[in-house]
Chains A and B, each alone.
Chain A
Amino acid sequence: KAGVTQTPRYLIKTRGQQVTLSCSPISGHRSVSWYQQTPGQGLQFLFEYFSETQRNKGNFPGRFSGRQFSNSRSEMNVSTLELGDSALYLCASSLVGTNYNEQFFGPGTRLTVL
């Protein structure tokens, strides 16, 4: 079974631009969560989508948004990029999306903001 895929793997943008990242979950998985990983803050939860609805949201500004499509693929968007948005963005999928489901991470998208 193919794992979680994320595209692109690397991105370089400049301040003020916007960016869209894509995530395809494991086949059959319906929940997709997004996380930001930085050396200083570690792994932080951004939001979770289940059945095309945002079910949970972390403590990030409104510049961070996402959506999920009917095939469970998900995208996240960051508008008006800031230097501090440079990070590894990780997508994780789980089967149903209850408290007990294990989450499996994709390889991540490394975003650098100049």
Chain B
Amino acid sequence: QKEVEQNSGPLSVPEGAIASLNCTYSDRGSQSFFWYRQYSGKSPELIMFIYSNGDKEDGRFTAQLNKASQYVSLLIRDSQPSDSATYLCAVNGGQAGTALIFGKGTTLSVSS
């Protein structure tokens, strides 16, 4: 059973702080890793993807991947109240195609 694990939270950080979201996965054959943000009542929105070990930065977001440890993380710098949402980690299933396995998500709350 391929699994993706995330702490459900809530993770509470003050405005301007760094929020760190973590995810582990069970399938060593996984090749691509995605972070989605989902606001309450809305659909998931892709914010970052990473395929190679190391860091990938996009604005205030940094994704980090360590395939040896089967660990992927998302850092949000200068957190804003508008970042308050559920963050979903998704991993491709290792099959041909695009089947994604999702974690249950971490709820982030940024207080002003």
List residues of chain A with CB under 8 Å of any chain B CB.
31, 33, 35, 42-45, 48, 50, 55-56, 58, 88, 90, 92, 94, 97-108
Contacts and interface: CB of A to CB of B under 8 A. Distances in A.
B98 A98 contact: yes
B43 A105 contact: yes
Nearest to B88: A43
B46 A101 contact: no
Nearest to A105: B43
A48 B92 CA distance: 13
Contacts of B105: 42
Interface in B68-112: 88, 90, 92-105
Interface of B: 31-32, 34, 36, 42-46, 49, 51, 88, 90, 92-105
Contacts of A92: 98, 100
Nearest to A95: B98
A99 B43 contact: no
A56 B97 contact: yes
A104 B102 contact: no
A41 to B, nearest CB: 8
A45 B45 contact: no
B103 A42 contact: yes
Closest 9 CB pairs of A and B: A43-B102, A42-B104, A105-B43, A56-B99, A55-B97, A56-B97, A99-B31, A99-B92, A45-B99
13 contacts: A31-B97, A35-B100, A45-B101, A48-B99, A55-B97, A56-B95, A56-B97, A56-B99, A97-B98, A102-B34, A103-B34, A104-B46, A107-B43
A45 B43 CA distance: 15
